Amino acid sequence: MTRISERRGERRSTAPRQTAWRRLANLYPPMRVLSDDQVEAIHETSLVILETLGLEILDDRALDRLAVERQRVDRASRRVLFDRHWVMERIATAPEEAVLHARNPERWIAVGGNHIVFTPVGGPPNCHDLDRGRRPGNSRDLTDLIRLAHSINALHTISSGMLAAQDLDQRTRHLDAYFSVATLSDKVSSVSLLGAERALDGIRMNALARGISLEEMQVRPGLFGGINTNSPLRVDGPMIQGLTAMVEHGQVVVVTPFTLAGAMGPVTLAGALAQQNAEALAMLAYAQMLKPGAPVVYGSFTSNVDMKSGAPAFGTPEYAKTTIASGQMARRYKLPYRTSNCTASNTVDAQAAYESQMSLWPAVTGHGNFIFHAAGWLEGGLVASFEKMILDAEQLQMMAEFLQPIETAREDFALDALAEVGPGGHFFGAQHTIARYETAFYAPLLSDWRSFQTWEADGARSATERAQRIYKALLAGYEPPALDPARREALADYVARRKREYATGGASTLP
Amino acid sequence: MTRISERRGERRSTAPRQTAWRRLANLYPPMRVLSDDQVEAIHETSLVILETLGLEILDDRALDRLAVERQRVDRASRRVLFDRHWVMERIATAPEEAVLHARNPERWIAVGGNHIVFTPVGGPPNCHDLDRGRRPGNSRDLTDLIRLAHSINALHTISSGMLAAQDLDQRTRHLDAYFSVATLSDKVSSVSLLGAERALDGIRMNALARGISLEEMQVRPGLFGGINTNSPLRVDGPMIQGLTAMVEHGQVVVVTPFTLAGAMGPVTLAGALAQQNAEALAMLAYAQMLKPGAPVVYGSFTSNVDMKSGAPAFGTPEYAKTTIASGQMARRYKLPYRTSNCTASNTVDAQAAYESQMSLWPAVTGHGNFIFHAAGWLEGGLVASFEKMILDAEQLQMMAEFLQPIETAREDFALDALAEVGPGGHFFGAQHTIARYETAFYAPLLSDWRSFQTWEADGARSATERAQRIYKALLAGYEPPALDPARREALADYVARRKREYATGGASTLP
């Protein structure tokens, strides 16, 4: 016993220093890059797009539903022209805020309003770390990434899609990912919306992990998931089916058009924004049609391509502008706003850092509520990087501290200290300093502020090399959150049963 | 002839791609982190500081002048208590904007208003590049840095103090630096204000380089210089003498208290800001007393120390907040605002990038007018880095592009293109795209957006390694701006004469 506690104590003392997990509010006025007239012009154009060009919706059930709502549905082309009043009336029923509940009751998050939530990377097929280089990601990498994201306090949620593990059957790997997330973390998590079954598996497993019914899930939602439109102006069937399952079960849906200017959107930012707004409004209206008051989020992912190569670029000046502009659009509709932390860099270097910052500053100052890919995203989303997780964790911690307003109570002005110290003096020894110095300033996770000589004598490690040590220390210190063995067994049983069903042709026993 | 032009063409084609030199305006609403009440509380506290604690001013002539103005001067302690009405009346005569004229008539800059100016690093005794490592900087390094800063279009000005060349006599190295700046660049430049003589040498040499009289310099100023207060609450003699020389000759003076919270300022941000504001207001009022309407700038450099080591930290969340807050203070007095691009990193890595961004975003969104150290600053200002120059140039270019508002004219909405492309289509081939693709988006200087495979096959170079190639290419392609040989000779004669005077005891022939 003594030995274990000694070891634990040791581990704790060498554990990387982090700020505590905490919910964040953004009390600063939001940044604006559009005038009110410009916001209205984008709004108006997007309604004209919906009225005159409409969307192609590759789902018959959705077309039926929209026809019932008297939208102009052309069965042959699957094109739907929307009525602007219908769209705006539907949008008006969306709530400004929603709460998502975690397995750990203390880890609930608020989506919308002044709240800001950081989520880890989602989607990459590859992963990278300094030791092993870039490689297709496997299930061990995924669980390590989940452990790491759980351990990083700056991340409010976990993501089931931190990596698409290439060694697993792609039909059922979502089940393995959900199981890992449910057992390795107790934060709010995301679910894949690529089809209704993946969404429903996620919803059922979240209920099992939390030991509640699907009815209770409706009242206390615990999952979020994102759909992308297949820009321009198309919505794929699986996406709309995933959205529908989530809405019907009361979970949070994020709708994000992928309007990469010059490729899937016009080469002009105004054009790409109007298209984004049209696609987002239509799908959010659809969600509200399914269930008025369903918690939804307006997503933006309008960046641009390199017109020489066609390669997508992220963290560009254009991306910074559309990120802030999209926040203005979301606020116009009183909708929570989702944005991202992006970079196109191929390695964890200065470019990765400045492009992430070129995403994060607009996201934060533009009042993003839900910052996807906030840690670990590299190479335009093709790679989940272990070192980038730490680089981003530092940046998120700094943003969290930036969001704490300057305090200006009487004692904060330190007039007595200034009188005590006097001209040319030093504040280190002042009573006012001594009473506050331990918590006065942000303490970094990754930044090295030592003198050059001290830093050099200690190995002259770059931020990326230091990030490697930190992620390894976090993984070494990882402890799984407690989980009732009965719930764990129920989850395992569920996965086993569903895998059998998928193997025998996918006949689902889901309701 | 053919051969030369071929070579020139060749050089041009391999020259790093940059955006053009251009003046910038910030048309976005400024970020705010303080409420109006908080701004007033800081203002009020700073006036209380000036009234009750005052400043120690280590210059008898300044004490005389302030006594004439009926400020409460204590000769024994050299302490001056200021009258708040006097301070505010003096401040009110400061202009909101000033224009600085360069040797090249096209390179004039506007200071204040909505304008934003980027200046290169100033002050370091050391320099660094990947080949040669960190070392004391010498005169060759200084001239290379000047050539590089001249070549970087994102930098609006040059700085005579990019490096304090350690191989030169420190009494006269300012003359060598001024000569280098005047001959190697035609941008607006800075001058050292460490004493009246350094300022006056700079003013005389700027007049010689531009071929104008000191009277014309008054009407068309061409120099800026900064003084720091010796915080807390002290002003050194040489600084006030340098300021006085500049004001009397009509050049721009930037007053920047060095209120490092926890060391030279209170450990609380409100306290450090109030102290900064008090020190800045007093010195700016002094400048206006000397000459009402003198062009001056309100400077902020309020960061914090690491309370464990006492090491200064930059690009911290606290720094981000005080940078935006200080912009609010400067605007309260309708004064141009100076801030900086800072990092404490010991090397050009991801930390250097994200700390710079944590400085630049607040500087830009907080409506900094004059961004000092905008390129090349490393290691808390102890090092001028060649690779950091390029890393920062990219970031400044991106900021400049971010400041171009989204255009929302009818054709920007691209409705025809959207109709032409249709659902699921691609915009690459659209007429709207073809007409705009060459200039549609920001083209990077340093960022590499190629696929991982292409990037890897080309050497897998990090951003810092690519920055090395770029700075070398810029230096290789450097061409000095034309300078009338007579002016060059006049400058050389001036330097020679003044060096003799310094050698024989400093008896100056300056007016």
Question: What tens digit of pLDDT does each residue of A233-255 get?
Answer: 999 999 999 999 999 999 999 99
pLDDT the model gives residue A505: 74
Phi and psi angles of residue B378, each rounded to the nearest 5 degrees, phi first:
-145, 160
pLDDT the model gives residue B6: 39
Establish if A394 touches chain B: CB-CB under 8 angstroms. yes
Helix (H, G, I), strand (E, B) or coil at A78: coil
- Cβ separation B317–A422 shorter than 8 A: no
A92 pLDDT higher than 50: yes
Quickly list H helices, A435-484: 452-457, 463-476
Residues of B with CB below 8 A from A55's CB?
Answer: 423
Residues of B with CB below 8 A from A404's CB?
Answer: 317
Mean predicted confidence (pLDDT) in A405-427: 95
CA neighbor of B371 nearest in space, from B187, B115, B148: B115
Residues of B with CB below 8 A from A437's CB?
Answer: 262, 267, 307
Residues of B with CB below 8 A from A307's CB?
Answer: 437-438, 440-441
B354 pLDDT higher than 70: yes
* Interval A207-230: pLDDT, tens: 999 999 999 999 999 999 999 999
Q: How confident is the model at residue B510 (pLDDT cuts 50, 70, 90)?
A: low
B4 pLDDT higher than 70: no
- Cβ separation A350–B350 shorter than 8 A: yes
Round the average pLDDT of chain B to a whole number and report it. Answer: 95
Pull the structure tokens for residue B482.
Answer: 């034309």
Mean predicted confidence (pLDDT) in A136-161: 98
How far is the alpha carbon of B316 from chain A, nearest alpha carbon, in Å?
7
User: Alpha-carbon distance B219 to B217, whole Å?
Assistant: 5
- For B:239-298, CB contacts with A below 8 A are 261-271, 273-275
Residues of A with CB below 8 A from B382's CB?
Answer: 452
- Cβ separation A407–B265 shorter than 8 A: no
pLDDT the model gives residue A8: 39
Give me the percent of chain B exceeding a pLDDT of 70: 96
Establish if A182 touches chain B: CB-CB under 8 angstroms. no
Mean predicted confidence (pLDDT) in A458-478: 98
Establish if A453 touches chain B: CB-CB under 8 angstroms. no
B502 pLDDT higher than 70: yes
Mean predicted confidence (pLDDT) in A56-82: 98
- Cβ separation B270–A32 shorter than 8 A: no
Q: Name which of B262, B304, B406 is nearest A270 (Cβ-Cβ).
A: B406
User: Alpha-carbon distance B505 to A359, whole Å?
Assistant: 57
Query: Is the CB of residue A211 less than 8 Å from the CB of residue A103?
Result: no
- For A:89-148, CB contacts with B below 8 A are 134
Residues of A with CB below 8 A from B388's CB?
Answer: none
Mean predicted confidence (pLDDT) in A401-407: 98
* Interval A95-105: pLDDT, tens: 999 999 999 99
Query: Is the CB of residue A386 less than 8 Å from the CB of residue A129?
Result: yes
B273: Cβ contacts below 8 Å, ≥ 6 apart: A406, B42, B259, B302, B322, B325, B326, B329
Kindly report which listed range (A23-37, B169-183, B298-312) carries the lowest average pLDDT score.
B298-312
pLDDT the model gives residue A2: 36
pLDDT the model gives residue B331: 98
Mean predicted confidence (pLDDT) in A377-401: 98
pLDDT the model gives residue A27: 97
B3 pLDDT higher than 50: no
User: Alpha-carbon distance A141 to A164, whole Å?
Assistant: 10
Mean predicted confidence (pLDDT) in A493-509: 85
Residues of B with CB below 8 A from A322's CB?
Answer: 406
Burial of A321 (0-12, 13-18, 19+ CB in 10 A): buried
Residues of A with CB below 8 A from B407's CB?
Answer: 268-270
Mean predicted confidence (pLDDT) in B92-113: 98
Mean predicted confidence (pLDDT) in B383-397: 98
Establish if B470 touches chain A: CB-CB under 8 angstroms. no
Cis peptide before B232 (omega within 30 of 0): yes
- Cβ separation A427–B267 shorter than 8 A: yes
Q: ipTM more than 0.90?
A: yes
- Cβ separation A307–B349 shorter than 8 A: no
Residues of B with CB below 8 A from A49's CB?
Answer: 415, 418
How far is the alpha carbon of B39 from chain A, nearest alpha carbon, in Å?
10
Query: Is the CB of residue A378 less than 8 Å from the CB of residue A384?
Result: yes
Establish if B485 touches chain A: CB-CB under 8 angstroms. no
- Cβ separation A271–B421 shorter than 8 A: no
Q: At CA B344, angle to CA B316 and CA A315, rounded to 5?
A: 60
Q: Name which of A28, A55, A413 is nearest B423 (Cβ-Cβ).
A: A55
Establish if A53 touches chain B: CB-CB under 8 angstroms. yes
Residue with tokens 């340098």: B242
- Cβ separation B413–A321 shorter than 8 A: no
pLDDT the model gives residue A331: 98
- Cβ separation B406–A33 shorter than 8 A: yes
User: Alpha-carbon distance A117 to A114, whole Å?
Assistant: 10
Establish if A399 touches chain B: CB-CB under 8 angstroms. yes
Query: Is the CB of residue B56 less than 8 Å from the CB of residue B232?
Result: no
pLDDT the model gives residue B12: 45
Mean predicted confidence (pLDDT) in B242-248: 98
CA neighbor of A294 nearest in space, from A255, A328, A330: A255
* Interval A355-377: pLDDT, tens: 999 999 999 999 999 999 999 99
- Cβ separation B426–A48 shorter than 8 A: no
Give the CA radius of gyration of chain A.
Answer: 24
* Interval B333-345: pLDDT, tens: 999 999 999 999 9
- Cβ separation B441–A261 shorter than 8 A: yes
Q: How confident is the model at residue A197 (pLDDT cuts 50, 70, 90)?
A: very high
User: Alpha-carbon distance A109 to B452, whole Å?
Assistant: 36
Site from B259, B354, B382 to mutate, A interface, most A CB atoms within 10 angstroms: B354
Give me the percent of chain A exceeding a pLDDT of 90: 94
pLDDT the model gives residue B88: 98
pLDDT the model gives residue B2: 36
Establish if B412 touches chain A: CB-CB under 8 angstroms. yes
Q: How confident is the model at residue A508 (pLDDT cuts 50, 70, 90)?
A: low
B506 pLDDT higher than 90: no
Q: Name which of A34, A265, A313 is nearest B449 (Cβ-Cβ).
A: A313
